[in-house]
Each structure stands twice: as C-alpha cells, then as structure tokens.
Amino acid sequence: MQVLHVVGARPNFMKAAPVLQALSRRPGVVQMLVHTGQHYDANMSGVFFEQLGMPQPDVNLDVGSGSHARQTAEIMLRIEPVLEEQDPDWLVVYGDVNSTVAASLVAAKLGIRIAHVEAGLRSFDLTMPEEINRMVTDRLADLLLTPSADGDENLLIEGVRPERIRRVGNVMIDTLVRLLPRAEAKWPELHDKLELSDTPYALITLHRPSNVDDGATLLPLLEALTAIGEQVRCVFPVHPRTRRRMSDLGIRPGDGVVLTEPMGYLEFLALQRHACMVITDSGGIQEETTFLGGPCLTMRENTERPITVELGTNTLVGRDVDRLKREAAAMLDGGRKHGSLPPLWDGQAGERIADALMEAPSV
C-alpha cells in the first residue's frame, strides 16, 4: 500500500509526524511525503522537521506565499504531476490549510482515495478561509478521521455516510506527549535567554488576518496587550505576517511585552507549559493548552474546537479588547479556568489512523 502525505504549514507537521511513524511500523506500506512550501521560512517550517523527527520531504513544491486563489492554484498545478506519477492508494491530508484543499481537489479528479485527518471540525463562520477548506475537503474525502464527537455529529448532519467516519482522537496530542520531555529539557536555557524571573508570565500568539491585517483591529489589540504587560510580563513570538503589519503601521506593544522571533515547536511548548496564561488566535494552541491544563484566552468570535471550551481550559473573548483585559486580570487574580482531558487525547491517535487506513476496503 502506497500512502502519500501532503503537508504545507506548521500545524500539519505536528499532525503528520505520528501518522508517518505509526505507518512505518506496518508491513507492506510505502510512504511519500510532499511539502507544498506553503510555510517556507526556516523558523516557520524547516526547524519543525528536525524537532519532530520527521523525514525530509521526498518532494518540495516550493509554492511560497500569495493570495488564497494564487496559492491554492499553484499547489494544484505543481502537485498534479506528482499524484499522476505516484498514483498512491491513499492521499492523506491534514487540517484546514490551502495545501489540504488543493491536494484534495486534484486527487479527487484523478480518482485517488483521500483520507482527511482532523475531519468534521466546524466554526460555522464562512468568513474564515479555513472553514471553506474544511468543508470542501470533507465533501471530497473517502475516509474522514475525526478528533472528537462534535466532528462526527457535524459530518452526519451534512449527510456523510457513517461508514466513512472514524473517530480517532486528537493526533496533535500524540506529538505533544512524545516531545514534552524534550521541551522541558530546553526550559532552563530558554528561561535564561528570555530573562524570565520566577514571577508569572503570559504567552501571546497572533496571526489570523481578522486580527492582524486591519490596523483598526490590530492597534487596540496591541494597546490591550500593553495594558496586560503592565500587570504581568508577556512573551510574544511574532508571526511574520503580524510583524509585517506592525512594521507597515509603525506600531508595537509597550515594554512589558517582549517580542521574539517565531520559535521551534519544543521551545514554544516549553513556554506554554510554564506560562500563567496564553493569549492566542490559533486553533492548535487551544488544544495544547487544554491538554497542559493552562488557561487560554482566544481572540476569536468562534472556534472549530468547541471541546476546548466545553471541557478544556479555553475561553473565547472575541475581539473585545475590554473583555480580554478583564479576563486576563481575573486570571492573574486567581480566577483561572480549570478543565478536563477530552476523550481519546491519549497519545495513540496516530496508531488508530494507521489502523483505519489499513482496514479500509481496497478498491
């Protein structure tokens, strides 16, 4: 059985690594890894392959940045000859980035079976490009591998046949469980490098266009972070998109917010593990903080991961900067949110995905 994996952005790498490892232990499985190059800078991509123990890609499409239409079209053009030449038994795609939907569109027209890891998640917000990518990929996929019960329910409501759905759990947690000891080993050096004292600190990540592209949104958000930084030190690894907008607008948060370059997975995981709170707009970080038990304030109006709010430690604050400041102050005053571990967040999702691919009827 030949399996071709497509990755393109940092969250994909964390999801693909456990699946690649699990399938490598199955007899008769040949794997190929294609990196579209959607995330292409070393800090955003290259270091992740090294830290996750992933093989270097067999093919790198070197697509780079661009508008959604241009990037999606370029991936489709460049991956089509790869899929035609390899003709794999399975195309495995991950998450909700442009690489995911682009590869799925090409594979579907070539008659190649598609397995979607992290299927069924919905924010019900069609202004988010990722929501469109999820919906289209799930419509095309032959095997829908869901992380939680809400994913199953969403797919059934949309008319997906039950036999195409397999709940496998959260594969990102597999990577977290495996690498947490290595992340902890980096903590002393990281602590000294960032000059973190023994007092609490908050960790910040912001990259979504709805938060960073418009100065009318970004400016008050940075002002709120400055106010929070006057109460607790904040560490802010800045996504290249966010840094560009801050530079273009000539704005930055105050001195209480320490700006750094993007970090590798291990370093960022160590910072999450020890932070008193995380402020983010990332989907994956909502999941990681829930597993780690740390409070998370999410700067989004909705989430495709409602289980992190219902069972976990996540609180949605929208783009209400006054609420952000209130929630942060309450957490610093001891009012942190406590959660529980969602089902199947046990570090074995990669094995269940490998089983599902091996057990699927051949065609």
Tens of pLDDT, residues 188-198: 999 999 998 88
Closest to 280 measured CA to CA, from 289, 292, 270:
289
Whether 274 is catalytic is no
pLDDT by residue (tens digit) across 52-75? 888 889 999 999 888 899 999 999
pLDDT at position 160, please? 97
- Which stretch of DSSP H or E encloses residue 279? strand 277-280
Candidates 3.90.1640.30, 3.40.50.2000, 3.90.1150.10, 3.40.50.2300; correct CATH number of 2-169+345-359?
3.40.50.2000
pLDDT in tens, 208-261: 888 888 889 999 999 999 999 999 999 999 988 889 888 998 988 989 999 999
Could you give the angle at which helices 349-359 and 171-193 cross, rounded to 10 degrees? 150
Q: Confidence band (pLDDT; 50, 70, 90) for 199? A: confident
pLDDT above 90 covers a percentage of the chain that reads 77
Average pLDDT over residues 23-51: 80
**Which residues, listed in sequence order, are joined to residue 146 by a DSSP beta bridge?**
167
Q: For residue 48, what pLDDT is reported? A: 67
pLDDT at position 240, please?
A: 85
In Å, how far are 5, 42, 236 from 2, measured between CA atoms? Answer: 10, 29, 41
Q: Over 90: is that where the pLDDT of 161 sits?
A: yes
Per-residue pLDDT band at 353 (split at 50, 70, 90): very high
Please check the confidence at residue 338 and state whether its pLDDT lies above 80: yes
User: What is d(CA 209, CA 218) in angstroms, rounded to the nearest whole number?
Assistant: 10
- What is the distance between the alpha carbons of residues 242 and 248, in angstroms, rounded to a whole number? 10
In this prediction, residue 40 has a pLDDT band, given cuts at 50, 70 and 90, of low
List the chain domain ranges.
2-169+345-359, 180-332
Q: Residue 13 burial (CB < 10 Å; 0-12/13-18/19+)?
A: buried
Q: Is the pLDDT of residue 363 over 70?
A: no
For residue 342, what pLDDT band results from cuts at 50, 70 and 90?
very high
Cβ proximity of 183 and 263 under 8 Å: no
CATH number for the domain formed by residue range(s) 180-332: 3.40.50.2000
Check whether 76 has a pLDDT greater than 70: yes
Provide the pLDDT confidence category of residue 168 given band limits of 50, 70 and 90. Answer: very high
Q: What is the mean pLDDT of residues 16-22?
A: 96
Which pTM does this prediction carry? 0.90
Q: At what angle do helices 171-193 and 265-274 cross, to 10 degrees?
A: 80
What average pLDDT is seen over the chain?
93
The yes-or-no verdict on residue 129 having pLDDT over 80 is: yes
Catalytic residue among 207, 239, 274, 338: 207
Tens digit of pLDDT for each residue in 293-331? 999 999 999 999 999 999 999 999 998 999 999 999 999
DSSP state letter for 148: S
> Is residue 42 scored above 60 in pLDDT?
no
